[in-house]
Amino acid sequence: MTPETEASLRKVGLDPVAVAEIVERTLTEDLGPDRLDVTSVATIPATQTDAAELVARAEGVVAGLAVAAAVFEAVSPAVEVAIHAVDGSTVVRGTVLATVTGPTRDLLTAERSALNLLCRMSGVATHTRQWADLLDGTHALVLDTRKTTPGLRILEKYAVRAGGGTNKRMGLYDVAMIKDNHKLAAGGITAAYERVRAAFPDVPVQVEVTTVGEAVEAVTAGATFLLLDNMPPDLLREVVAAVGGRAELEATGGLTLATAAQYAATGVDYLSVGGLTHSSPILDIAMDLRTTH
């Protein structure tokens, strides 16, 4: 990975070491233990060089260009990548996002792994932007969840940010989330909250609630963030009236683009949408080889 790519990743909050690990797993999955592309080795001379363009095949929001660059650079230090678009920008069909130049074998070897990550991240960013645009001008922000593709969480959550969404927690380690099973096992909201606070005094605590009474209990116990699970808009308004201003409020469960404005109008701070990361279609991006041979 070049210093320029490392700097680009750090600039958007991605750890280059973590990205390099994802890239290595992705390439190993495609190339096997011998790191071999049998078709390219068989059909293309080792000395042949060419250029190729990464081209959008549909309109959407691009995300992950530096990640794609890291894939090409991991395959061969002889590959040069020139990025022509900016993550978070809207592109149209035919937009050239990047140009890659180098040994033709290496370009084709890296192609699918780079595109798999770039298309996936851009799809998440595109879907997120639809939500962000709908909520623009309201009090609410769109929030992602932990329903991510195993091994790709940091990339998908970055893509949410690139699309205009918000990350609240990365995993089970950085924020405590007291859900129904925790409440049941601990003997109630207050008991669960007090145990978390005693064990991890510096960790933010979120509490899932399903009634106004639970919301009031959680805030009284000290919670400053509530996840309002599967509440209809009228019930959300009651919760906002009861505890609004004392805790951040997140509506979750069954939300759709068609109902987003209705839920945002209740006064909650966030609408969390698992579909941003578990159900976004990819943005179609291809690599076009510009060979002169």
Q: Would you call 3 exposed, middle or buried from its count of C-beta atoms within 10 A (0-12, 13-18, 19+)?
A: exposed
Q: What is the pTM of this model?
A: 0.93
Catalytically active residues, by annotation? 112, 147, 179, 208, 229
- Across residues 255-263, what is the average pLDDT? 93
Count of residues in the chain:
293
* Average pLDDT value over all residues in the chain: 95
pLDDT digits (tens, 9 = 90+) for 94-138: 999 999 999 999 999 999 999 999 999 999 999 999 999 999 999
pLDDT digits (tens, 9 = 90+) for 169-182: 899 999 999 998 99
What was the pLDDT predicted at 254? Answer: 84
DSSP string, 156-182: HHHHHHHTT-B---SSTTTSEEE-HHH
* Nearest alpha-carbon partner for 88 in 68, 116, 113, 60: 60
pLDDT digits (tens, 9 = 90+) for 131-161: 999 999 999 999 999 999 999 999 999 999 9
Strands 60-61, 270-272: pairing kind: unpaired
What was the pLDDT predicted at 245? Answer: 87
pLDDT digits (tens, 9 = 90+) for 228-248: 999 999 999 999 999 988 999
Q: Is 292 a residue whose pLDDT tops 70?
A: no
